[in-house]
Structure 1
């Protein structure tokens, strides 16, 4: 090992040499970071154990469950959600099945991978949908722009960089990265025009560069001619004395590509029109853009400018629909949408609570629709309407901001009136509006939870009692988080309450069953005050330990049902049992 160190320059010498080059080339604007992070393999060799990167895919979702999950966040797009959820679930369940039978030959499971081509206008939620799916499944996700690939010719380096990015997203866990999702947007921009030369050669080259990753290839983690990659390789060799080639296999990586494909509709319409010419034919009715794309065939994509081999590697197609102003309003009204939640966070950064009137959301949706860029228009519409309030309100004492229709339509006047509201009557008007919007929000959330109670209860394994629905709606109104996060929080607290039963038995040798109404009662205390779950247990232990022990000695019973009323008045609960002598402590009479 000493000989190796003498022949190979150390890391400081390499850094100094590269740093000198960068300084001459770019001046002081580009500097070299000296820290070389350890890879997963190196960390394992150093510590002898796997750390946080010891994470593997554990997939058990069914298509209907994934569709139900997407329904909570995505408005409309029923066909696209169904196609994506079904084929993605099939892709990962197929991988799980294959991994369960390692002795089977690879060719028994070989076939065309379920890579997806998404077609639809901008701003309809394509990227958002894929991010949600990746998050739900628990696999790394990266997004690339196909237009950037064309800038580098047809070498295909950028395509491989996306695969390397998956490893970084997976915290350097190559095994997990090999189950990831690569999403490439604006794929329609790399279609060739056939009648052009120059740029179109590059586009065709990018398509060919994508062929192998779309199917199966190995991507080397070491990037040729990259000084940082070379330094890491040298440092790894210096530490271990081994050359360790790290590669990522793309066999199980799912590729999803998307584009607007505006000119494709003309090709499809022309084909449909030609097919209808003849005896007894009828002129096809005018179809919407999305309805035309639903009839896409491989031949249309090839005529559009894609190589046949490229089209063949994208067997699954999902068409997304245009969004109208009602759809945009539903997006804003959705309690899980990041747009309104993000705006609430913006004002909360200055200690200002903001609530929206339904009419105001309607106006914002109409303005976004007029911009004709889909859901992306919602962000710009809201920013444009509220930027004046975000600028001036933090410098005032105002802490509650009711966004009315008037605030959207006449922002300057509304702001001036808010700031200059000196008398009680004027201030009360804004307070009353704010409180009214709070109640409207609570009612909306309650109705939302009731309408989706079955799917939500199944997803989070939590019975949504009326008390819990009220608690969630109240919590949503006073905190900035989506409904799913709140339900998970309630579920965690419920699990803690049920664990009290086991803890009580271990400490006091007495079985207690905490009823749902008692759990809900404790939830209200924990959520609405500073009481901690441990405080609740200590109180239960103090209030019931000796009384239940006495009853157990007198009656021989060792199982007690703790209700809400029992928690409110434990002395009366114990007294009632003692008054009944050897009375009933069980819910059902015992047989015999």
Structure 2
């Protein structure tokens, strides 16, 4: 675009009109803020859908009849290479605008190979984005090379360029993103099988997710107990039986053990701190009955704490009953 002085504000804009009035009231006139375009590169891009029809119409003129000269017509994909200034004007652009865009470049359609390279090697790769999304939930996502090629082929058929990669990936992986987090599934491999039959494979992952992952449950329980101790100054210790019970319950509900513990024990700190005040005990061992009904368990312990016979374990209420008898 040629060098010129361009106003920074639109003279028809209310804000610029009010500013001009204020400047005039102050006696400063209505000076305009201008910018020089000498060192500014303007890039105008777009799909220009329908422009190829204008070019095709122009190239087809005068080629009807027996006396027409045989002219080799370009393929539909090559029509943009034949675009002239008048084609843009016929397409709807102002001549003054098109005249200020002297350099015109045609971008070739992305092939499946191009789309595959974009997924694998581009900055901010779509594959890395999905891997990070699943990794945030403790799931390792891995794309097989053949599956990447299939995704690129499907995206090419969308005819929307690189944006189609997101469309295809969301269609394939959206249900996995919503259903696998919080389950025992720790790895997801995107294969040709997933692309061809994602519903059946999702069903298999659902069944796998219901299986109890004891190691993962133990890690989540450790996180919960640590956070609980740091926040309330009371330490919780769950027996192996209690851990297995909670892990199975969390798997059946389709959520993580950490989520279940935060919901199940969200108010127990009040009763435990009262017991701690009465007895001085800061560590409590919880068994299956305690994790099944924390409110009932704590109510009994609070009563025992006033009697001074709390042992601090899950079996202590029953033991105290036998001693009282």
Question: TM-score normalized by structure 1?
Answer: 0.30
Identify which of 369, 373, 382 aligns with 2:160: 373
Q: How does 1:369-408 map to 2 (within 5 A)?
A: 369-408=156-195
Aligned residues: 203
The 8 Å contact of residues 329 and 362 in structure 1, kept in 2 or not, is answered as yes
The residue number in structure 2 matching 1:250 is 37
The residue number in structure 2 matching 1:358 is 145
The 8 Å contact of residues 365 and 378 in structure 1, kept in 2 or not, is answered as yes
The residue number in structure 1 matching 2:5 is 216
Note the C-alpha offset of 1:220: 4.2
Provide the secondary structure at the position in 2 that maps to 1:402: strand
In 2 relative to 1, CA 304–224 (structure 1 residues): closer, same or farther, beyond 3 Å?
closer
The residue number in structure 1 matching 2:130 is 343
In 2 relative to 1, CA 373–354 (structure 1 residues): closer, same or farther, beyond 3 Å?
same
Q: Is residue 262 from structure 1 mapped to residue 52 from structure 2 by the alignment?
A: no
Q: Is residue 413 from structure 1 mapped to residue 205 from structure 2 by the alignment?
A: no
Provide the secondary structure at the position in 1 that maps to 2:178: helix
Identify which of 41, 59, 76 aligns with 1:288: 76
In 2 relative to 1, CA 284–217 (structure 1 residues): closer, same or farther, beyond 3 Å?
same
The CA distance in 1 between the partners of 2:90 and 2:202, in whole Å, is 56
The 8 Å contact of residues 112 and 152 in structure 2, kept in 1 or not, is answered as yes
The CA distance in 2 between the partners of 1:351 and 1:222, in whole Å, is 56
The CA distance in 2 between the partners of 1:312 and 1:246, in whole Å, is 25
Q: How does 1:120-519 map to 2 (within 5 A)?
A: 215-220=4-9, 225-226=14-15, 247-274=34-61, 281-289=69-77, 291-336=78-123, 338-421=125-208
In 2 relative to 1, CA 335–298 (structure 1 residues): closer, same or farther, beyond 3 Å?
closer
Please list the CA deviations of residues 564-589 of structure 1 after superposition, one character each: whole Å capped at 9, or x if unmatched: xxxxxxxxxxxxxxxxxxxxxxxxxx
The CA distance in 2 between the partners of 1:215 and 1:247, in whole Å, is 10
Moved over 6 A (4+): 275-280
The 8 Å contact of residues 8 and 35 in structure 2, kept in 1 or not, is answered as yes
Please list the CA deviations of residues 391-413 of structure 1 after superposition, one character each: whole Å capped at 9, or x if unmatched: 12211133322211222222233
The CA distance in 1 between the partners of 2:200 and 2:7, in whole Å, is 62
The CA distance in 1 between the partners of 2:111 and 2:44, in whole Å, is 24
Note the C-alpha offset of 1:305: 2.5
The CA distance in 1 between the partners of 2:52 and 2:4, in whole Å, is 28
> Which protein is bigger by CA-based radius of gyration?
2
The CA distance in 2 between the partners of 1:225 and 1:361, in whole Å, is 52
In 2 relative to 1, CA 317–286 (structure 1 residues): closer, same or farther, beyond 3 Å?
closer
The 8 Å contact of residues 221 and 247 in structure 1, kept in 2 or not, is answered as no
Please list the CA deviations of residues 104-153 of structure 1 after superposition, one character each: whole Å capped at 9, or x if unmatched: xxxxxxxx54xxxxxxxxxxxxxxxxxxxxxxxxxxxxxxxxxxxxxxxx
In 2 relative to 1, CA 222–332 (structure 1 residues): closer, same or farther, beyond 3 Å?
same
The 8 Å contact of residues 359 and 404 in structure 1, kept in 2 or not, is answered as yes
The 8 Å contact of residues 331 and 337 in structure 1, kept in 2 or not, is answered as no
The CA distance in 1 between the partners of 2:37 and 2:126, in whole Å, is 34
The CA distance in 1 between the partners of 2:83 and 2:5, in whole Å, is 26
- RMSD over aligned CA atoms reads 3.8
Q: Unpaired segments of 5 or more residues in structure 2?
A: 214-325
In 2 relative to 1, CA 244–336 (structure 1 residues): closer, same or farther, beyond 3 Å?
same
Provide the secondary structure at the position in 2 that maps to 1:354: strand
In 2 relative to 1, CA 420–308 (structure 1 residues): closer, same or farther, beyond 3 Å?
closer
Note the C-alpha offset of 1:386: 0.6
The 8 Å contact of residues 344 and 354 in structure 1, kept in 2 or not, is answered as yes
Q: How does 1:59-78 map to 2 (within 5 A)?
A: none
Please list the CA deviations of residues 173-230 of structure 1 after superposition, one character each: whole Å capped at 9, or x if unmatched: xxxxxxxxxxxxxxxxxxxxxxxxxxxxxxxxxxxxxxxxx95313149995349x97
Question: TM-score normalized by structure 2?
Answer: 0.51
The CA distance in 2 between the partners of 1:280 and 1:246, in whole Å, is 58
Provide the secondary structure at the position in 1 that maps to 2:199: helix
Between 1 and 2, higher relative CO (CA 8 Å, sep ≥ 6) is seen in 1
Q: Unpaired segments of 5 or more residues in structure 1?
A: 1-111, 114-213, 238-242, 428-592
The 8 Å contact of residues 355 and 403 in structure 1, kept in 2 or not, is answered as yes
Provide the secondary structure at the position in 2 that maps to 1:412: helix
Note the C-alpha offset of 1:252: 2.6
